[in-house]
Amino acid sequence: MTHGLSTDTAAAAFGWTRAADAGLTFRRITDADLPFLARLYASTRTDELAVTPWSAEQKAAFLAMQFQAQHAHYQQYYPTADWLVTTRGKEDIGRLYVDRWPSEHCVIDIAFLPEHRGSGLGGALMRDLLDEAAGAGKAVSIHVEKFNPAMRLYRRLGFLTEEDKGVYDLMRWRAAAAASGKQASDYQVKTA
């Protein structure tokens, strides 16, 4: 499903004005992007693997296997999603995978290279995605690892934990709840 995105498009063309103001553009992933996407994935697991006694070669093999499994899983279970490489200038800096379902938009994955984290890019992009969903009258869901530093951003944006999925929390944003100022403590969290 293309949702109006060309192969290489500015964020503004999709109504993502904050992302455009931050200099972000997007393009659909191709097989040529897989090495970058694998490197990006590995960068999200660095802290987790730092405590393992594995050699660099073992870590690299593990990360390659995990990336391939994740990529195959995403492609199989979210066939209508937009699979986007996030760029700034001419540099590939992240990925955004989003699926637009009849009832909600699902952020499958959003990630940036370490040097681009914590700089407001993710917040700008997420705010644009929330605006898009609100305009369509839809909620937004995302699975977030419990110790992911971005959890603070999602909570500030009004995401609430709806279900404890073990390693992940299923978080959901609803325009009405975000506007009312409800906090996570206002809702009961389901546990796995």
pLDDT by residue (tens digit) across 29-51? 999 999 999 999 999 999 989 99
The reply to whether 29 falls in a domain is yes
CB atoms within 10 A of CB 77: 10
Reply yes or no on whether the pLDDT at 153 is more than 80. Answer: yes
The reply to whether 62 falls in a domain is yes
Q: Are strands 91-100 and 82-88 parallel, antiparallel or unpaired?
A: antiparallel
The reply to whether 174 falls in a domain is no
Strands of 17-100, DSSP E = 24-28, 82-88, 91-100
Q: CATH number for the domain including 66?
A: 3.40.630.30
Tell me the per-residue pLDDT of 106-128, one tens digit each, with 9 for 90 and over: 999 999 999 999 999 999 999 99
Tell me the per-residue pLDDT of 46-104, one tens digit each, with 9 for 90 and over: 998 999 999 999 999 999 999 999 999 999 999 999 999 999 999 999 999 999 999 99
pLDDT for residue 4: 43
Q: Which of 108, 168, 165 is nearest to 142 (CA)?
A: 108
The reply to whether 44 falls in a domain is yes
Mean pLDDT of the chain: 88
Residues near 75 by Cβ (< 8 Å), separated by ≥ 6? Answer: 83
Q: What long-range pairs does 74-77 form, CB within 8 A, spacing at least 24?
A: 74/108, 74/109
The reply to whether 161 falls in a domain is no
What's the predicted TM-score (pTM) here? 0.86
**DSSP bridge partners of 87:** 25, 92
Q: Quick check: 123 and 159 in contact, CB under 8 A?
A: no
Q: Quick check: 89 and 23 in contact, CB under 8 A?
A: yes
The reply to whether 54 falls in a domain is yes
Write out the residue range of the structural domain in which residue 79 sits.
8-137
The reply to whether 132 falls in a domain is yes
Q: Are strands 24-28 and 82-88 parallel, antiparallel or unpaired?
A: antiparallel
The reply to whether 126 falls in a domain is yes
pLDDT for residue 15: 81
Q: Quick check: 133 and 140 in contact, CB under 8 A?
A: yes
Reply yes or no on whether the pLDDT at 182 is more than 90. Answer: no
CB atoms within 10 A of CB 137: 9
Q: Work out how many domains the chain is built from and give that number.
A: 1
Q: CA 25, 70, 61 angle in degrees (round to 5)?
A: 105
CB atoms within 10 A of CB 38: 18
Q: Quick check: 150 and 144 in contact, CB under 8 A?
A: yes
Reply yes or no on whether the pLDDT at 167 is more than 90. Answer: yes
